[in-house]
A and B are shown apart, each in its own frame.
Chain A
Amino acid sequence: MKSKIIVATFCAGLLLAGCTKNFDQINTDPNSPSLDNPAVAAGAANALFSSAVSRGLMEAGEFQRVQALYADLYGQHFATSQGYFFSDRYQINQGWLDFGWNRFYPRDIKNLVDIINSDNASANQKQIARIWKVFLFHRMVDFYGDIPYFDAGDPNKAEKFDSQRDIYYDMLKELGEASTALANGPTYDAKDVIYGGDIVKWRRFANTLRLRLAIRISNKDAAKAKTEGEAAIAAGIFTANSDNALAKVNNILPNAFNQITGWNEFRMSATSESLLGGYQDPRQGIYFNAVSGGDPAFNGTFKGLRNGIPNLNSAPEISFRNNSNVGTTFSVASMTANPRIVLTYAEGCFLMSEAKLKGWSGAGDAKTWYELGIMASMKQFLPTVADAAVIAYTNNSTNVPTTPTGAPRPISTLPVRWAANAAEQMEQIQLQKWVAVYPDGFEAWANFRRTGFPKLYPPVAYDASSDVPVGQFIQRIPYTDNMRNLNTSGVAAAETRMGGKGQAIKLWFAGGN
Chain B
Amino acid sequence: MKKLCLLWIMGVFVLGLQAQEKLTVTGKVTNATTKKPVESASVLVKGSMNGTTTDATGAFTISALPNATLTISGIGYGNMEVAVGGRSTIEIELAESAGQLEGVVVTALGLKRQKRDLGYATQQIGGEDLQIGRENNVANALAGRTAGVVINRSSAGPGSSTRISLRGERSIRGDNGPLIVIDGVPVDNSVRGSTGEFNGNDGGDAISNLNPDDIESMNILRGPNAAALYGARANNGVIMITTKKGRNQKGLGISFNNNTAIENPFYSVDMQNQYAQGSGGSYIATDENSWGPRITGQQIQNWKGDNYSASAQDHTADFFRTGLSTSNNIALSAGNEVTQVRFSYNNLNATGLVPNNSQNRHSFTLRSTSTFGKLNIDAKINYINQLIKNRPQGGEEAQNPYSNTLRMPTTVRSSDLENYADESGPLPRQSFFAPNSAIIGNPYWMANKLSPREERNRLIASAALNYKINNDIGITGRAGIDRYNDDNSRRSFAGTPTPFTNNSAAGNYNFERLLTEEFNAELFATYNKSLSDNFKLSGVVGTAVRKNRSEVASANAGGLDIPDLFNMTNGRAVTAGNGIFRREIQSVYGSAQLSWKDAIYLDLTGRNDWASTLPAANRSFFYPSASLSTIISDLVTMPKWWSYAKFRTSYAFVGKEAPEYQTIQTLLSSTGVAGTILRNRSQLINTNLKPEQTRSFEIGGEFRFAGSRIGLDVTYYKTNTFNQVIGVPLVLSSGFNEKIINAGKIQNNGIEVLLDIGVIRKTKFRWDMAINFSTFRSQVVELDDQVKFFTLGSTRVADVRANEGERLGNMYVNGFQRNTDGNVEIGANGLPIRTQRNVLAGNVFPDWNGGINNTLSLGNWSFDFLVDGRFGGVVASHTQAVLGGLGKLQETVTGREANSLIVPGVLAGTKTPNNITTNAQAYWQFVGGRGNPIGEAWVYDATNIRLRQATLSYKFPSSMFTKGFIQGVNVSVYGRNLFFFKNDAPFDPEVSLNTGLGGQGIDFYSLPTTRSLGINVNVNF
Known: A34-B664, A95-B794, A335-B503. A111 touches B680 (CB 8 A): yes
Interface pick from B99-107, B184-192, B421-429, B667-675: B667-675
- Flag A472-495 by CB within 8 Å of B: 1 or 0 each: 000000000111011100100000
- CB distance B543 to A193 under 8 Å? no
Which of chain B's residues have a CB closer than 8 A to the CB of A84?
885, 925, 929-932
Contact across chains for B677 and A51 when beta carbons are under 8 A apart: yes
Q: Is B9 an interface residue (CB 8 A)?
A: yes
Pick from A54, A159, A312: contact of B677, CB below 8 A.
A54
CB-CB contacts of B576-615 with A at 8 A, as 1s and 0s? 0011111110111000000000000000000010111100
Q: Cβ of B964: which chain A residues have Cβ within 8 Å of it? A: none
Taking a contact as CB atoms under 8 Å apart, the answer to whether A313 and B289 are in contact is yes
Q: Which residues of A contact B829 (CB under 8 A)?
A: 461, 464
Interchain CB contact under 8 A, A485 and B789:
yes
Measured as residues with beta carbon below 8 angstroms from the partner, the interface class of chain B is 35 or more
For B465-483 the 0/1 string (1 means CB < 8 A from A) is 0000110110100000000
Contacts of B475 on A, CB cut-off 8 Å? 5, 9
B667 touches A481 (CB 8 A): no
Report B427-467 CB contacts with A as 1/0, cut-off 8 Å.
Answer: 00000000011100000000000000000000000000000
> B332-366 interface mask toward A, CB cutoff 8 Å, 1 = contact, 0 = none?
00000000000000000000000000000000000
Question: Is B541 close to A, CB under 8 A?
Answer: yes
- When distances are taken between beta carbons in the complex, the residues of chain B under 8 Å from A50 are 672-675, 677
Chain A residues near B282 (CB-CB < 8 A): 314
CB < 8 Å neighbour of A5 from B473, B583, B794? B473
Tell me if A240 counts as interface (CB < 8 A to partner B).
no
B250 interfacial by beta-carbon distance below 8 Å: no
Query: Is B734 a contact partner of A55 (Cβ separation < 8 A)?
Result: no
**Which A residues from 12 to 45 make CB contacts under 8 A with B?**
12-17, 19-24, 26-36, 40, 44
CB-CB nearest in chain A for B739: A155
Are A314 and B734 also in contact (CB < 8 A) when A34-B665, A262-B503 are?
no
Whether the pair B732, A102 counts as a contact (CB closer than 8 A) is yes
Asked if A451 lies at the interface with its beta carbon under 8 angstroms from chain B, I say: no
Contact with A along B1-43 (1 / 0, CB 8 A): 1100110110011001000000000000000000000000000
A165 interfacial by beta-carbon distance below 8 Å: no
Contact B828 A17 (CB under 8 A): no
Which residues of the partner chain A approach B660 to less than 8 Å between Cβ atoms?
A: 27, 29
Tell me whether A497 is interfacial, beta carbon within 8 Å: no
The answer to whether B469 and A1 have CB atoms under 8 Å apart is: yes
Contact in complex: B734, A154 (CB < 8 Å):
yes
Shortest distance in angstroms between A284's beta carbon and chain B's nearest beta carbon?
25
Among A111, A148, A247, contact of B731 (Cβ-Cβ < 8 Å): A148
Known: A16-B586, A19-B5, A84-B929. Is A313-B735 also a contact (CB below 8 A)? no
Which residues of the partner chain B approach A110 to less than 8 Å between Cβ atoms? 680, 735-736
CB 8 Å contact bits of B900-915 with A (1 = contact, 0 = none): 0000000000000000
Asked if A2 and B287 sit within 8 Å, CB to CB, the answer is: no
- In the complex, B833 has a CB within 8 A of chain A: yes
- Decide if B679 is an interface residue (CB 8 Å cutoff): yes
A312 near B932 (CB under 8 angstroms)?
no
Interface mask (B655-692 → A, CB under 8 Å = 1, otherwise 0): 00000110111111111111111111110100000000
Q: Is the CB of B619 within 8 A of A23?
A: yes
In the bound assembly, the distance between CA atoms of A15 and B6 in angstroms comes to: 9
Asked if B545 is at the interface of the complex by the 8 Å CB criterion, the answer is yes
Q: Are B281 and A314 in contact (CB under 8 A)?
A: yes
Complex Cα spacing A312 to B292, Å: 12
Known: A2-B472, A14-B588. A312 touches B679 (CB 8 A): no
In the complex the two chains form, is A16's CB within 8 Å of B588's CB? yes
| A12 and B543 form a contact (CB under 8 A) | yes
A36 B584 Cβ-Cβ under 8 A: no
| Contact count band on A | 35 or more
Among residues of B, the one whose C-beta sits closest to the C-beta of A1 is: B469
CB contact under 8 A between A23 and B503, given known A10-B541, A34-B667, A486-B729: no
A27: contacting residue among B472, B523, B572, B612, CB under 8 A? B612
User: Chain B contacts of A85 at CB under 8 A?
Assistant: 931
Q: Is B8 within 8 A of A15, CB to CB? A: yes
Whether the pair A44, B9 counts as a contact (CB closer than 8 A) is no
Per the 8 Å Cβ criterion, residues 509-546 of B in contact with A are 523-525, 527, 541-543, 545
Q: Is the CB of A155 within 8 A of B673?
A: no
Q: Which residue from A1, A47, A157, A263 sits with its C-beta under 8 Å from B672?
A: A47
B832, chain A: closest CB distance, angstroms: 8
Q: Which residues of B contact A106 (CB under 8 A)?
A: 680, 682, 732, 734-737
Q: Is B827 an interface residue (CB 8 A)?
A: yes
Q: Type the 1/0 row for B738-758, where 1 means its CB is closer than 8 Å to any CB of A.
A: 010000000000000000000
Q: Report if A191-B666 is in contact (Cβ < 8 Å); known contacts: A312-B280, A312-B921, A332-B498.
A: no
Q: How far is the CB of A365 from chain B (nearest CB, A)?
A: 39
CA distance A47 to B678 in the complex (A): 5
Select from chain A the residue with minimum beta-carbon distance to B835. Answer: A465
Are B679 and A55 in contact, CB atoms less than 8 angstroms apart?
A: yes
Within the assembled complex, what's the spacing in Å between the Cα atoms of A16 and B545? 8
Q: Given A48-B678, A50-B677, A313-B280 in contact, is the A158-B731 Cβ separation under 8 Å?
A: yes
Query: Interface centre among B498, B523, B932, by most A CB within 10 Å?
Result: B932
B733 within 8 A of A: yes
Q: Are B664's CB and A36's CB within 8 A?
A: yes
**B275-321: which have CB < 8 Å to A?**
278-282, 284, 286-287, 289, 291
Q: Interface digits, B631-674 against A, CB 8 Å rule (1 contact, 0 not)?
A: 00000000000000000000000000000110111111111111
Chain A residue, CB-CB nearest to B681: A32
Q: Does A151 contact B (CB under 8 A)?
A: yes
- A251 contacts the other chain (CB 8 A): yes
- Return the chain A residue nearest B572 by Cβ: A251
Neighbour of B2 across the interface among A5, A19, A91, CB < 8 A: A19
- Which chain B residue has the least Cβ–Cβ distance from A470? B828
CB-CB nearest in chain B for A47: B678
Task: Confirm or deny: B419 has a beta carbon within 8 angstroms of a beta carbon on chain A.
Answer: no
A32 touches B667 (CB 8 A): yes
Of A6, A83, A248, the residue contacting B673 (CB under 8 A) is A248
Contact A27 B8 (CB under 8 A): no
Do the beta carbons of B582 and A26 come within 8 Å of each other?
A: yes
Nearest Cβ in chain B — how far from A421, in angstroms? 41
Q: Which of B278, B588, B731 is most buried by chain A, counting CB atoms within 10 A of its CB?
A: B731
B89 proximal to A (CB < 8 A): no
B926 to chain A, nearest CB (A): 7
Tell whether A153 is near chain B: CB-to-CB under 8 Å.
yes
Which of A8, A310, A332 is within 8 Å of B12, CB to CB?
A8
Chain A residue at smallest Cβ distance from B573: A251
In contact, A48 and B679 (Cβ under 8 angstroms): yes
- A368 CB within 8 Å of chain B: no
CB-CB under 8 A from B588, the residues of chain A are 10, 13-14, 16-17
Residues of B within 8 A of A311 (CB): 922, 925-926
CB distance from A235 to the nearest CB of B (A): 28
Q: How far is the CB of B743 from chain A (nearest CB, A)?
A: 15
Q: Is A292 an interface residue (CB 8 A)?
A: no
Tell me the minimal C-beta distance from B593 to chain A in angstroms. Answer: 16
Which residues of A, 219-244, contact B by the 8 Å Cβ criterion?
none
18 A-B residue pairs with Cβ-Cβ distance under 8 Å, sorted by A, are A9-B543, A15-B9, A16-B9, A16-B543, A20-B610, A26-B582, A27-B612, A32-B661, A33-B669, A34-B664, A50-B674, A84-B932, A86-B931, A91-B932, A93-B932, A160-B733, A252-B671, A486-B731
Closest 3 CB pairs of A and B: A314-B280, A110-B735, A148-B733
Besides A12-B543, A15-B5, 5 other CB < 8 A contacts? A5-B469, A9-B541, A16-B543, A157-B734, A262-B503
Interface residues of B (CB under 8 A from A): 1-2, 5-6, 8-9, 12-13, 16, 278-282, 284, 286-287, 289, 291, 436-438, 469-470, 472-473, 475, 498-499, 502-503, 523-525, 527, 541-543, 545, 558, 572-573, 575, 578-584, 586-588, 608, 610-613, 616, 619-620, 660-661, 663-682, 684, 729-737, 739, 788-789, 794, 796, 827-829, 831, 833-834, 836-838, 885, 921-922, 925-926, 929-932
